[in-house]
């Protein structure tokens, strides 16, 4: 095995594994059969990490933890449109932004990281019903139509916006729950922003994601025709971090001419890239057994922040860690000034719970309690709205989100 790169701590890309695929599958299936009885045993009531859990939830948490410990299959990315699009979805190419929209801090980071706008990136429209005509990139049907722009999670290094990706279950369920209460929501756009590669010299590091997010937002305004106040930004985990950064950039850079979105939905936002919350008695320790997250994403964070001094940015730079306890006091005051109404979910059993609580408190301090709704799922795992087995907290959160959305 190669030594880690001293600059990033990442291991240079290895030669492709030439083990036959059939043998790899055999090892995977054999490993699962060996572990299944163990997982079932520890899903019995005396051994469950949380007393509120049934055996299915305890079993599924162990299964997801195991699967995330393996290399994830590579799905579609920003280089091509996905195939096998379901009937209630459409794929589109979205033009990259003009470099004139990259200003201030964003320009400084982009220059240091040698990041430029992509010429185009994929986007995927999801619609309320496949039996009705798909609106896709059609103009709003009326002045009241709202739209959600979604950014998926995955630590900025995994997952996809393509309709068959696991994260898109959030899109489908959110669309179904909200549309039941708000007929003015008929579609969601998922953006396939560039992922950072896990190698010694990562491609597409920060701020590539913000630049791509700007492209998706300006597309909805300038090409499709939505008013900014009718756009709601939504993200889970790293995608929620991207929502925060995009919103902050739009507010702090009025010269780019993009209005503030009408609302934000943040599911289990990843808001501390460092270790400021990794202390005895914090959720990082107390939720170790009740979450599938093994760590807070050190490898991903190092890749995303590769062009910069890692310890400095993750501890004292609010673009990376807006919830860090190490942020200078002067950078916290008014950090989220001007933010729109926001709905936040967190799991009571997730390791990122304390950073999320810190973020929520800072957001409330900036914009007021009346503009922030916080839902904490009882003993729930990280990003629980993605998992059908995470009940009843998943349904409760989606219903609360739908009620919040109806009041926008």
What's the pLDDT tens digit per position in 313-337?
999 999 999 999 999 988 898 899 9
CA–CA dist 217, 229 (Å, integer): 12
- DSSP-based three-state secondary structure for 339: coil
Q: Got the DSSP string for 6-60?
A: TTT-PPPPPPPP-S-HHHHHHHHHHHHHHHHHHHHHTTSGGG-SSTT--HHHHHH
Closest CA to 66 of 87, 42, 47, 85: 42
Residue with more model confidence, 299 or 148 = 148
Average pLDDT over residues 217-246: 98
H, E, C per residue of 120-173: EEEEEEEECCCCCCCCCCCCCCCCCCEEEEEECCCCCCCCCCCCCCCCHHHHHH
CA–CA dist 25, 17 (Å, integer): 13
Q: Residue 207: is the preceding peptide bond cis (ω within 30°)?
A: yes
Q: What is the pLDDT of residue 11?
A: 44
User: At residue 29, does pLDDT exceed 80?
Assistant: no
Q: What is the pLDDT of residue 27?
A: 64
User: At residue 14, does pLDDT exceed 70?
Assistant: no
CA–CA dist 375, 406 (Å, integer): 16
Closest CA to 360 of 338, 396, 379, 336: 336
CB atoms within 10 A of CB 378: 13
Q: What is the pLDDT of residue 302?
A: 95
How far is CA 89 from each of CA 159, 187, 191, 225, 249, rounded to the nearest angstrom? 18, 9, 13, 19, 30
Grade residue 35 by pLDDT with cuts at 50, 70 and 90. confident
Residues in the chain: 408
Grade residue 28 by pLDDT with cuts at 50, 70 and 90. low
Strand-by-strand arrangement of the 120-127 sheet: 89-95, 120-127, 185-191, 146-151, 231-236, 263-267, 342-347, 372-377
Q: What is the pLDDT of residue 24?
A: 58
CA–CA dist 91, 78 (Å, integer): 12
User: CA angle at residue 335 from 190 to 221, to 5 degrees?
Assistant: 35
Residue spans of the domains in the chain: they are 25-69, 89-407
For residue 91, what are the contacts with CB-CB under 8 A and spacing of at least 6? Answer: 81, 82, 85, 122, 123, 124, 125
Q: What is the pLDDT of residue 166?
A: 94
What pLDDT digit, counting tens, does each position of 168-178 carry? Answer: 999 999 999 99
Q: What percent of the chain has pLDDT over 90?
A: 81
Q: Got the DSSP string for 56-117?
A: HHHHHHHHHHHHHTSPPPP---TTS--SS--TTEEEEEEEPPPGGG--HHHHHHHHHHT---
Q: What is the pLDDT of residue 394?
A: 98
The mean predicted confidence, pLDDT, of the chain is 91
CA–CA dist 38, 50 (Å, integer): 18
From 3.40.50.1000, 3.40.1190.10, 3.40.50.1400, 3.40.50.1820, which CATH number describes the 89-407 domain? 3.40.50.1820
Q: What is the pLDDT of residue 2?
A: 46
Closest CA to 198 of 99, 270, 289, 306: 306
Grade residue 297 by pLDDT with cuts at 50, 70 and 90. low
CA dihedral for 54, 58, 61, 63, sign (positive or negative): negative
User: At residue 165, does pLDDT exceed 70?
Assistant: yes
Q: What is the pLDDT of residue 296?
A: 56
Grade residue 65 by pLDDT with cuts at 50, 70 and 90. very high
Average pLDDT over residues 295-301: 79
């Amino acid at each position: 095995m190669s030594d880690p790169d001293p600059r990033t701590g990442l291991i240079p890309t290895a030669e492709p594994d030439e083990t036959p695929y059939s043998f790899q599958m055999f090892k995977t299936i054999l490993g699962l059969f060996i572990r299944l009885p163990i997982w079932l045993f520890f899903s019995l009531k005396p051994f469950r990490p949380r007393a509120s859990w049934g055996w299915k939830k305890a079993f599924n948490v162990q299964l997801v933890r195991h699967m995330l410990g393996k290399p994830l299959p590579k799905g579609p990315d920003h280089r091509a449109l996905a195939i096998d699009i379901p009937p209630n979805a459409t794929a589109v190419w979205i033009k990259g932004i003009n470099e004139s929209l990259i200003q201030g801090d964003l320009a400084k980071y982009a220059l240091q990281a040698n990041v430029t706008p992509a010429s185009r990136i994929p986007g995927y429209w999801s619609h309320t019903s496949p039996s009705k005509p798909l609106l896709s990139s059609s103009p709003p049907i009326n002045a009241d139509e709202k739209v959600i722009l979604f950014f998926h999670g995955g630590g900025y290094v995994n997952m996809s916006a393509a309709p068959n990706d696991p994260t898109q279950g959030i899109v489908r369920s959110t669309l179904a729950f909200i549309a039941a209460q708000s007929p003015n929501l008929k579609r969601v756009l998922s953006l396939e922003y560039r992922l950072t590669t896990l190698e010694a010299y990562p491609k597409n590091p920060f701020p590539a994601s913000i630049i791509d997010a700007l492209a998706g937002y300006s597309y909805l305004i300038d090409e499709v025709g939505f008013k900014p106040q009718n756009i709601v930004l939504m993200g889970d985990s790293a995608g929620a971090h991207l929502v925060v950064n995009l919103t902050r950039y739009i507010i702090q850079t009025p010269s780019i001419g993009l209005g503030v979105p009408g609302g934000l939905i943040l599911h289990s936002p990843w808001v501390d890239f460092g270790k400021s919350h990794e202390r005895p008695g914090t959720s990082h320790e107390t939720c170790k057994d009740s979450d599938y997250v093994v760590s807070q994403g050190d490898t991903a964070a190092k890749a995303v922040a590769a062009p910069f001094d890692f310890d400095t940015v993750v501890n004292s730079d609010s673009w990376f860690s807006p919830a860090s306890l190490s942020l200078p006091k002067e950078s916290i005051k008014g950090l989220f000034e001007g933010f729109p109404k926001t709905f936040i979910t967190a799991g009571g059993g997730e390791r990122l719970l304390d950073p999320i609580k810190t973020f929520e408190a800072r957001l409330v301090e900036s914009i007021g309690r009346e503009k922030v709704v916080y839902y904490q799922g009882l003993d729930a795992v990280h990003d629980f709205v993605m998992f059908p087995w995470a009940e009843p907290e998943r349904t409760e959160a989606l219903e609360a989100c739908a009620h919040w959305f109806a009041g926008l």
